[in-house]
């Protein structure tokens, strides 16, 4: 570990030098990448510096134990346990900081929620989940931008797609992909029977231009009139856009904006993120077994969480976590679940490194 840390310090100094290089300053993409790397390395370097200082203090106190002055010996003896504890905490912090980083952690996300089994009740739960994530975004000062929505007459969503942008959004929400199950008594249920419905959630890292490039020749663009519930036209011009990426078959439609250009731009953003997600899935196929051991497979057909309203219970099945604070969770208080998932992944990564 310490050999790696010295390498980190060397690289940190190298990056600091590069950031003042005129050729780097003139290359926006390279400068942005080095700035991010500098920020990531600086935390490790700072903690490592503190660790070395504490280690030096421990050695100094051990030498003082041989001092002829009784008061100095007693003072050194009293300080050692506290210093040893701090050293252990810093070692643990350094191990976590040296774990492999997910390159997408700093990205914004495309959030897609779709009603599954359960009809109208599933659509209502889709809307509930979207509100939950929107409120969580508000807590973190993230921006939520609606990309596409297919609403039902009862106030639910058959499908809703949104862009959530802010600081390290993907790092917090990447474990939310999967099937979310709800157990509750629908408002239309006269006999008080509990119904089980499900929704699927997909969290895609927003693809940037440097991540993926789409050839216009590979796109089929269809224009049509935007329509509302019941198929009635709400727009007399062909402002709605449907994009089809011919090589992959990925299709994205967007009609929420009155401008054809805005709808096309939004559809293209979703299309890029879906294709980027497909590319990553193919690249990571060999690591599927390891990933399943860490945080579940992430397969969107997998039931990852149950929201039981009669019991006020939320259970994440991947890590066996059950919390009896469902009302708070539905209001966006999901940090405890997210932190538990992150901790579980880190523990699995550390266990793999040690083996």
Query: Which residues, 6+ apart, have CB-to-CB distance to 306 below 8 Å?
Result: 180, 181, 182, 183, 313, 314, 315, 317
Alpha-carbon distance of 318 to 293, in angstroms, equals: 9
pLDDT of residue 290 exceeding 60: no
3-state secondary structure of 348: helix
Annotate 76-107 with b (16+ C-beta within 10 A) or e (fewer).
Answer: beeebeebeeebeebeebbeebbeeeeebebb
**Within a domain: 119:** yes
Mean model confidence pLDDT for the chain? 85
pLDDT of residue 287 exceeding 70: no
Higher pLDDT, 326 or 273: 326
Q: How does pLDDT run across 184-198, given as a tens digit for each residue?
A: 998 777 677 899 999
**Within a domain: 287:** no
Higher pLDDT, 179 or 226: 179
* 256 and 344 assigned to the same domain: no
pLDDT of residue 209 exceeding 80: no
pLDDT of residue 291 exceeding 50: no
Min mean pLDDT across 39-43, 89-93, 223-227 is at 223-227
Alpha-carbon distance of 239 to 162, in angstroms, equals: 19
What is the predicted pLDDT for the residue at 24? 87
CATH number of 57's domain: 1.20.58
> Can you say how many angstroms the Cα of residue 322 is from the centroid of all Cα atoms in its chain?
21
Min mean pLDDT across 2-16, 135-149, 242-256, 284-298 is at 284-298
**Within a domain: 104:** no
**Within a domain: 12:** yes
* 169 and 318 assigned to the same domain: yes
Mean pLDDT (whole number) for 239-257: 86
Mean pLDDT (whole number) for 39-62: 92
What is the predicted pLDDT for the residue at 255? 83
Kindly give the residue spans of alpha helices, DSSP state H, lying in 19-69.
22-25, 28-64
CATH number of 158's domain: 3.30.70.1660
Mean pLDDT (whole number) for 231-258: 76
* 167 and 188 assigned to the same domain: yes
3-state secondary structure of 69: coil
Are 270 and 256 contacting, i.e. CB atoms less than 8 angstroms apart?
Answer: no
Min mean pLDDT across 28-42, 45-59, 99-113, 236-250 is at 236-250
Mean pLDDT (whole number) for 69-74: 84
What is the predicted pLDDT for the residue at 299? 42
What is the predicted pLDDT for the residue at 237? 63
What is the predicted pLDDT for the residue at 302? 63
What is the predicted pLDDT for the residue at 42? 92
**Within a domain: 185:** yes
Torsion-angle region of 298 (φ positive above 0: left; ψ -120 to 50: alpha; else: beta): left
* 43 and 81 assigned to the same domain: yes
pLDDT grade, residue 231 (50/70/90)? very low
Kindly give the residue spans of alpha helices, DSSP state H, lying in 140-259.
169-173
pLDDT of residue 137 exceeding 70: yes
User: Of 97, 125, 158, at which residue does a domain stop?
Assistant: 97
Alpha-carbon distance of 336 to 314, in angstroms, equals: 11
Residues of the chain above pLDDT 70, percent: 89
Mean pLDDT (whole number) for 103-111: 91
* 174 and 308 assigned to the same domain: yes
Count how many Cα atoms sit within 13 Å of the Cα of residue 196 in the half-sphere of its side chain. 6
Task: Name the most confidently modeled range: 139-148, 289-298, 299-308.
Answer: 139-148
- The separation between the first and the last C-alpha atoms of the chain, rounded to the nearest angstrom, is 14
* 190 and 223 assigned to the same domain: no
Q: Which residue, 115, 120, 132, is CA-closest to 189? A: 120
* 131 and 251 assigned to the same domain: no
pLDDT of residue 111 exceeding 70: yes
Q: Across-strand partners of 109?
A: 164, 205
The structure tokens listed for 240 are 């709605």
- Domains contained in the chain, number: 3
**Within a domain: 103:** no
Domain of 244?
Answer: 216-282
Count how many Cα atoms sit within 13 Å of the Cα of residue 115 in the half-sphere of its side chain. 20
Higher pLDDT, 113 or 40: 113
What Cα–Cα distance (Å) separates residue 158 from each residue in 8, 41, 86, 279? Answer: 48, 43, 52, 26
**Within a domain: 294:** no
**Within a domain: 150:** yes
3-state secondary structure of 153: coil
pLDDT grade, residue 355 (50/70/90)? low
pLDDT of residue 262 exceeding 90: no
């Amino acid at each position: 570990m310490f050999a790696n840390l010295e390498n980190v310090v060397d690289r940190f100094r190298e990056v600091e030098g590069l950031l003042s290089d005129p050729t780097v300053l003139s290359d926006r993409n390279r400068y942005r990448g080095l700035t991010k790397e500098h920020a990531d390395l600086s935390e490790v370097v700072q903690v490592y510096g503190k660790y070395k200082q504490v280690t030096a203090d421990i050695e100094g106190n051990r030498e003082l134990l041989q001092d002829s002055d009784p008061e100095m010996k007693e003072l050194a003896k009293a300080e050692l346990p506290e210093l040893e504890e701090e050293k252990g905490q810093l070692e643990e912090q350094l191990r976590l900081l040296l774990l492999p980083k997910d390159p997408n952690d700093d990205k914004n996300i495309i959030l897609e929620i779709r009603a599954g089994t359960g009809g109208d009740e599933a659509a209502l739960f889709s809307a509930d989940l979207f509100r939950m994530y929107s409120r969580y975004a508000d807590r973190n000062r993230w921006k939520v931008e609606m990309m596409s929505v297919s609403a039902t007459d009862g106030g639910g969503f058959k499908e809703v797609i949104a862009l959530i942008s802010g600081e390290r959004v993907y790092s917090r929400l990447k474990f939310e992909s999967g099937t979310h199950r709800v157990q509750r008594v629908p408002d239309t249920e006269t006999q008080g029977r509990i119904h089980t419905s499900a929704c699927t959630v997909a969290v895609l890292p927003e693809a940037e231009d440097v991540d993926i490039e789409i050839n216009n020749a590979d796109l089929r663009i269809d224009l049509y009139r935007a329509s509302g519930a019941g198929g009635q036209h709400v727009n007399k011009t062909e402002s709605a856009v449907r994009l089809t990426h011919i090589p992959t078959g990925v299709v994205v439609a967007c009609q929420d904006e009155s401008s054809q250009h805005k709808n096309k731009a939004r559809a293209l953003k979703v299309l890029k993120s879906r294709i980027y997600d497909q590319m990553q899935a193919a690249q990571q196929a060999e690591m599927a077994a390891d990933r399943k051991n860490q945080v579940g497979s992430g397969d969107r057909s997998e039931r990852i969480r149950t929201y039981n309203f009669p019991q006020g219970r939320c259970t994440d099945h991947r890590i066996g976590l059950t919390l009896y604070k469902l009302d708070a969770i539905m209001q966006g208080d999901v940090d405890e679940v997210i932190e538990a998932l992150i901790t579980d992944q880190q523990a699995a990564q550390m266990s793999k490194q040690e083996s």
